[in-house]
Chains A and B, each alone.
Chain A
Amino acid sequence: MTQERPAPAARAHPAPAEAQAALTEKGKALSALLHEALAEFKPAMSAALDEVVLTVDRANLVKAATKLRDDPRLAFDYLMCLSVVDYEDRFEVVYHLRSLAKPARFTLKVSLPYDDPIVPSVMGVWPGADWYEREGHDLFGVNFEGHPNLAPLLLYEGFEGYPGRKSYPINDYQEW
């Protein structure tokens, strides 16, 4: 005999704290320099802790990336990491860049709509983006246009679905 239990009262959870953005002097100078150097691409500047974060539109991505690498004031020649983050209403492709000569580092982000995750490939600018983009395509389904070979990298052939996405259940498995 099952009894209908009333739903438990909603608990008041405190809203999670937000990490405060705290740029150092160097970070503020870098932020100003980037804002001025990439002004034609209308970047959105922000900060995450002590890291400068710059968001550009996906249409301007390759030109902005080329400028970041080639401009002698910036010289961001080393792509540290390229990640895809699934925020459930959008995808974000995050590029962590470093300039070995200066030295300096910052984060470049591109926001993609959830049902149209296409972004141009930056392999022409940093050849080291190759396998990151293949992995992003494999696990998240983000299409990197212009990449010469987006074959599956980590998953086996015939795998259906994009396991990196939040919509893919953690404890699901496919019969092979």
Chain B
Amino acid sequence: MTVEQQLDSLELMVNVGPQHPATHGVFRMVLWIDGERIVDVEPHIGYLHRGTEKICENEQYSQIITLFDRLDYIANFNNEWVVCMAAEKLMSTEVPDRAQYIRTILCELNRIASHLLFYGTFALDAGAMSPVMYAFRERERIQQIFEATSGARLMHNYFRIGGVKEDVPADFVQRITAALDPIKATIEEADRLVTFNEVFLARSRDVGTIDGKTAVALGFTGPNMRASGVDFDVRRAAPYAIYDRFDFNVPLGDRGDCWDRFWVRIREMEESVKIVEQALKQMQEGPIMAPTRRISRPPKGEVYVHAENPRGDFGVYLVSNGGDRPYRLKIRPPSFCNLMSLKHMMRDAYVADAIMILGSIDIVLGEVDR
């Protein structure tokens, strides 16, 4: 017998527990490992389950917007937009142009902020301690614009059914134009520091690969799906609001590994900057709220709307019985569905890769658990 055959090897169960600096929230993974190779992974979620869907059945439509802020707490405006779109579609409300532009600009800025956070924390997962500081410095610029507009850095409660709560401050356009240049510089810096860095490439290239067909079958949406080569961006495939007025590209990866998911998000930041620049030019004066009643009572019916959140395809299925509260509001969170692919992606991974793969999916537990 060789030495290897003589060695008795057991499978070890490692609990990457809910309190962990690298699980991006209260998420628990149980890994069964054989040496350094992962044999099996079992994700456990539910540590942040707050019963949002049930609460929504008991609150009026304008009250549930605050709940949606707290779902994906990094892309708040995007969540608010989807619930407003759902109610507006059911009520056939025409949202005025200026409100659409304000919503688009804020959501794209939020996408940049979210991808910046991903850039910082993913590099941190790989071991680089500095990019997270640079990323948060730029995020701070964006969050200060948000604070001037809506009053809060994170939990905005700014969108309303029919438009937005109040008009933007007077220096909105100047502030954003001034903020876009440092953001472009940070994106270039990300490419110089991290994207093509030899160590980062070694950590993330060919790690956690998933092909396009499996991604679609598992519902693995957003930049993750596009990194596997599947061209599905809700802003392009099913344009909502005014996205058909902008000229932007949809970056696609080829291999579907961690590096591709990182690269796609960095490129998407550039595209979002383009959209914000175009929207700022096109925005005109006008009303910011459609003439709606104070208490929205959508007619009896149901609607499913979805939008491109920074994390993927965020959907809301709203069933109304004509009252002032939703009858059933089902939230389709992208991170919840993206986590289903975790097991597939970890099939040949080392333990060190487990953190990289989890980081590359870019989950937010607020929307996973609701």
Contacts and interface: CB of A to CB of B under 8 A. Distances in A.
Contacts of A141: none
A18 B300 contact: yes
Contacts of B299: 16-19
Contacts of B332: 80-81, 83, 96
Interface in B202-232: 216-220, 230, 232
Which bucket holds chain A's interface residue count? 35 or more
B337 interface: yes
B340 A130 contact: yes
B219 A94 contact: no
Contact of B306 (A15, A80, A163, A166): A80
Contact of B330 (A81, A105, A107, A170): A81
Contacts of A80: 219, 304, 306, 313, 315, 332
B54 A164 contact: yes
Contact of B46 (A154, A163, A164, A166): A154
Contacts of A103: 237-238
A85 interface: yes
Nearest to A83: B330
Nearest to A105: B238
A27 to B, nearest CB: 13
Contacts of A78: 216, 219, 232
A79 B232 CA distance: 14
A131 interface: yes
Given A16-B297, A49-B89, A79 B328 contact: no
Contact of A17 (B220, B230, B322, B369): B322
B46 A96 contact: no
Contacts of A57: none
Contact of B55 (A15, A19, A105, A170): A170
A86 B54 CA distance: 11
A48 B49 contact: no
B321 interface: yes
A37 interface: no
Given A86-B328, A164-B53, A164-B54, A16 B315 contact: no
Contacts of A130: 340
B300 A107 contact: no
Contacts of A77: 216-217
Contacts of A161: none
Interface in B77-128: 89-90
Nearest to B321: A16
A153 interface: yes
Contact of B369 (A128, A154, A163, A170): A154
B51 interface: yes
Interface residues of B, number: 47
Contacts of A16: 297, 299-300, 321-323
Contact of A83 (B89, B317, B339): B317
A127 interface: yes
Contacts of A128: 217-220, 337, 340
Contacts of B302: 19, 48-49
A166 B327 CA distance: 10
A98 B369 CA distance: 24
B219 A155 contact: no
Contacts of B322: 15-18
B298 interface: yes
Interface in A49-96: 49, 51, 77-81, 83, 85-86, 94, 96
Contacts of A51: 303-304
Interface string A13-54: 001111100000000000000000000000000001101000
Most A-side CB within 10 Å, residue of B45, B232, B328, B336:
B328
Nearest to A81: B332
B249 interface: no
Contacts of B297: 16
Contacts of B53: 164
A155 B298 CA distance: 31
Contact of B232 (A100, A154, A155): A100
Nearest to A138: B46
12 contacts: A19-B299, A19-B302, A49-B89, A49-B302, A77-B217, A81-B332, A96-B332, A100-B230, A105-B238, A128-B340, A131-B340, A154-B46
Given A16-B297, A19-B303, 19 more contacts: A16-B321, A48-B302, A48-B303, A49-B302, A49-B303, A77-B217, A80-B219, A80-B313, A81-B304, A96-B332, A100-B237, A126-B217, A128-B220, A130-B340, A153-B46, A154-B46, A154-B370, A166-B57, A170-B57
Interface of B: 45-46, 49, 51, 53-55, 57-58, 89-90, 216-220, 230, 232, 237-238, 297-304, 306, 313, 315, 317, 319-323, 327-328, 330, 332, 336-337, 339-340, 369-370
User: What are the nearest 9 A-B pairs in CB distance?
Assistant: A16-B322, A19-B301, A128-B219, A17-B299, A83-B330, A81-B332, A154-B46, A19-B299, A154-B49
